[in-house]
Amino acid sequence: MNPRTDARLGKIIRLLTDNATVVVSGTKLADEIGTTRSEVWRLVQQLRELGVEIAGHPATGYQLNAIPDLLLPEMLATSLQGTIFANSKTIHHFYKISSTNSEAMEAASQGAPEGSVFLAEQQTAGRGRGAHNWHSAQSVGIYCSVILRPLLPPAHVLVLSLAAGLAVQATVREVDDRVTVDLKWPNDLLINSKKFCGILTEMNAEVTRVRYIVVGIGINVNQRSFPPELKDSATSLRIATGTEWSRVELCVALLKSLDREYRALVEDPKAHQDILQRFENNSSCVRGCAVRIEENAEFEGITEGLDSRGFLQVRTKEGLRTVLSGTVRAI
Ligand code: BTN
């Protein structure tokens, strides 16, 4: 879907939300967005296909049946006042895109400011760590990437990425404290040992200075099932709790939580150590856990916490090893 159509769909929803108690004529909608009544009808049909419940037709006018749970800038910006994500002009929403991380990396390379947010209802080529895909079905998950421009050396970016995991964990706790979320180093979030969130952090840096970072967060929210290849390893907040979650509420809480972690990290010299400590405290497998590390060469051992840069330490028969990347499996 092209950005112009995206913007027009957003405007129709905003106009219908602003006038939620009345029927809005097709002519009024057409005038407001500068198009024809037949184009408004086509856009309304498109919104219905996306799951937005709109009553009416061109002759009678249109009315929203329910405020849709879409991640539109208008739905988010006012709740984000006081954070680096508050500017509705730099919150970008897409109904369908290849990958919000790719879009954000491209925008960052063109100078998009810190705090820019990229959200999609659906990704056609969602990317995970290590060349994996991220299953991104329409309007059931949060697919979110943010641009940050911290004055940090590249070696500190892992800690920022760990902080993003803590931010997601705090978000879920804030919205529903019955859910217990576990952190798996470096960037997986699990419920009942199944993954419901992954984080892909990408950066452009000089040797000593970060130019920009994109933190991409995928959260499985309202999925009721997964394709066969994922069903044993993936879960969603909906599956874990049996109830539907508001993606708008979660997304606002997520961006606020991310803002808190990020500001602390760039402003408070003690935050780096504090993040490492909290990650250890909130992860069941960072210390004293038997693991297999699937890196270039596989090895097994017992986890011994994080080093000062955030890398996982594993005690093997041959001695202490530092895990720089790869997959950690509890055994
Ligand atoms: C992983 O666990 O492998 C990381 C998954 C990251 C997925 C998110 S969804 C939003 C953003 N856009 C992408 O293409 N990927 C990240």
- What residues flank ligand 1, with Cβ below 6 Å? 99-101, 123, 126-129, 132, 134, 143-145, 188, 198-200, 216-218
Reported as a single tens digit per residue, the pLDDT across 176-206 is 999 999 999 999 999 999 999 999 999 999 9
Residue 300 CA neighbour count, 13 Å, CB half: 3
Q: Is the pLDDT reported for residue 55 higher than 80? A: yes
Average pLDDT over residues 271-298: 94
Among the atoms of ligand 1, which is closest to the Cα of residue 132? 3
Rounded to the nearest whole angstrom, what is the distance from the C-alpha of residue 281 to the centroid of ligand 1?
25
Rounded to the nearest whole angstrom, what is the distance from the C-alpha of residue 219 to the centroid of ligand 1?
9
Average pLDDT over residues 225-249: 96
User: 283-287: long-range contacts at Cβ-Cβ below 8 A with a sequence spacing of 24 or more?
Assistant: 283/182, 283/183, 283/184, 283/185, 284/182, 285/182, 285/184, 285/185, 285/328, 285/330, 286/183, 286/185, 286/312
Kindly write down the DSSP assignment for every residue of 75-100, as one continuous string: HHGGGGTTSTT--GGGEEEESSBS-H
Measured distance between the N- and C-terminal CA atoms of the chain, rounded to whole angstroms: 44
Model confidence at 1, pLDDT cuts 50, 70, 90, reads: low
Reported as a single tens digit per residue, the pLDDT across 84-103 is 999 989 999 999 999 999 99
Q: Is the pLDDT reported for residue 291 higher than 90? A: yes
Q: Is the pLDDT reported for residue 218 higher than 80? A: yes
Tell how strand 91-94 and strand 117-120 pair up. parallel
Mean of all residue pLDDT scores within the chain: 94
Q: Is the pLDDT reported for residue 45 higher than 90? A: yes
Among the atoms of ligand 1, which is closest to the Cα of residue 128? 3
